[in-house]
Amino acid sequence: MIDEMLNEALAVKASADCVVSEDAIQDAAKRMGNQISQDLADKNPLVITVMNGGLYPAGLLLPHITIPMQLDYLHATRYRGETEGGELVWARTPTYDLTGRHILIIDDILDEGYTLEAILRCCLTQEPASVSTAVLANKLHDRGPRPDVTYCGVDVPDRYVFGCGMDYKGYWRNLSAIYAVTEG
């Protein structure tokens, strides 16, 4: 089973289209980090990374966020290694108290937005001072709740994308560019 999954992931990558280059990703991370640093300079932010997809974007952004901050993470997922989302599963909530804090949530992509919407609802129950969001990629379509995103790196086509934190059945989060599964 593992060999079949690996072979499928290799075949998908071999035929995929690069839709956002590594250079464009690096430029977006610098731009986002600089803007976050300016906007949250006097806010003592708590940065919360959404695992697993947000790990890569957080790694890109954090060196460009030049202000004091605290870091935490949460794990909420609808995909669990699949290519279509299901019921939201919470594996971990943040450990810091969010009350009165300025929160920045970092995630990989805004697709339909169901996961991000649930995360925002959860955070707001603790009455933070503010909640802002940063996603590396915004998928271009109008399906789902699509909550507002404060900081966005790049736009991607309405195709299944992977790389830079986004996966294909658990594989390829580690790629430094964003790829789209070949249509057809």
In the prediction, which pLDDT does 117 show?
A: 94
In the prediction, which pLDDT does 1 show?
A: 75
* Alpha carbons 62 and 47: distance in angstroms, whole number: 9
In the prediction, which pLDDT does 105 show?
A: 98
In the prediction, which pLDDT does 143 show?
A: 94
* Alpha carbons 27 and 134: distance in angstroms, whole number: 15
Look at residues 69, 61, 66, 38 and name the one whose alpha carbon lies nearest to residue 152.
61
Q: Identify the burial level of 184 via C-beta atoms within 10 angstroms of its C-beta, where 0-12 means exposed, 13-18 middle and 19 or more buried.
A: exposed
pTM over 0.75: yes
Residues paired with residue 89 on neighbouring β-strands, in sequence order: 77
Angle subtended at Cα 46 by Cα 44 and Cα 52, rounded to the nearest 5 degrees: 155
Residue ranges covered by each domain of the chain = 23-158
In the prediction, which pLDDT does 82 show?
A: 57
In the prediction, which pLDDT does 81 show?
A: 58
Look at residues 78, 31, 30, 70 and name the one whose alpha carbon lies nearest to residue 48.
70
* Mean pLDDT of successive 10-residue stretches along the chain, which has 184 residues: 92 98 98 98 98 97 98 84 68 94 98 93 95 98 94 98 96 98 85
* Alpha carbons 184 and 176: distance in angstroms, whole number: 25
As assigned by CATH, the class of the 23-158 domain is alpha beta
* Alpha carbons 150 and 57: distance in angstroms, whole number: 15
- Output the six-digit token pair for 118: 């649930």
Look at residues 97, 37, 43 and name the one whose alpha carbon lies nearest to residue 62.
37
